[in-house]
């Protein structure tokens, strides 16, 4: 269960970073924005690992002894991507209006990594539905808090959160490799 909690925190760092950025840029109706981020990011971040898990169920028998190595590669790849995105601050997009469509696109973009990481849930002896629920709830909390933190502190925390999440995912990947 501890692995799921750590995975949830690491995966939520993308959504947290985006929420910090949105909170830093938007000054009016902050509680509505925080709630929107929590709902969208939490729901997508909770659903996407389940898709990855279900896709991984069929692959497990086929992968045989290589499943831990594949989990290592997936988590390290996602972690490296998050670190790169945290270091490369040029990629930030500006949105004139935060419509439902924009929030949905942001939620999908921040949860693609969670879908790939969902494959690794096949290797942890926990209930996948409960794990995805935990991932979604933790992401929702981090997203809500991220908007409030961003509003108070600006965007300086945005990149650091993504880098931290990437490092944690790489460490989890090494744990799978050493099993």
User: pLDDT tens-digit profile of 134-147?
Assistant: 999 999 999 999 99
Task: Give domain status of residue 122, yes or no.
Answer: yes
Task: Give domain status of residue 114, yes or no.
Answer: yes
- The answer, as to whether pTM is greater than 0.75, is yes
Task: Give domain status of residue 3, yes or no.
Answer: no
Range of the domain at 38: 30-88+95-177
| Model confidence at 18: pLDDT above 90 | no
- If one counts the domains in the chain, the total is 1
Task: Give the C-alpha distances (Å, rounded to integers) separating 39 from 16, 139, 142, 144.
Answer: 13, 9, 11, 9
133 or 84: which leads in pLDDT = 133
Task: Give domain status of residue 9, yes or no.
Answer: no
178 or 61: which leads in pLDDT = 178
Q: Find all residues with CB under 8 Å of 86, minimum gap 6, and list them.
A: 17, 159, 160, 161, 162, 163, 166
* Residues 69-102: tens digit of each pLDDT: 877 888 788 888 878 877 776 555 555 667 888 8
Task: Give domain status of residue 163, yes or no.
Answer: yes
Residue 157 DSSP SS3: coil
Task: Give domain status of residue 23, yes or no.
Answer: no
The two three-digit tokens of residue 156, written as one number:
């300086």
Q: Residue 139: its pLDDT value, please?
A: 96
């Amino acid at each position: 269960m501890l692995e799921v909690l750590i995975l949830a925190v690491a995966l939520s760092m993308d959504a947290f970073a985006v929420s910090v950025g949105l909170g830093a840029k938007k000054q009016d109706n902050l509680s509505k924005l925080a709630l929107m981020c929590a709902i969208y990011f939490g729901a997508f971040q909770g659903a996407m690992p389940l898709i990855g898990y279900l896709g991984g169920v069929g692959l497990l028998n086929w992968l045989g002894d290589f499943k831990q190595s594949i989990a290592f590669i997936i988590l390290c790849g996602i972690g490296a991507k998050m670190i790169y995105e945290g270091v490369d601050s040029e990629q930030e997009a500006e949105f004139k209006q935060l419509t439902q469509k924009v929030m949905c696109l942001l939620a999908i973009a921040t949860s693609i990594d969670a879908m790939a990481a969902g494959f690794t849930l096949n290797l942890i002896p926990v209930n996948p539905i409960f794990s995805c629920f935990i991932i979604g709830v933790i992401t929702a909390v981090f997203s809500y808090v991220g908007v409030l933190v961003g509003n108070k502190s600006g965007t300086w925390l945005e990149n650091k959160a993504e880098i931290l999440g990437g490092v944690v995912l790489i460490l989890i990947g090494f744990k799978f490799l050493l099993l």
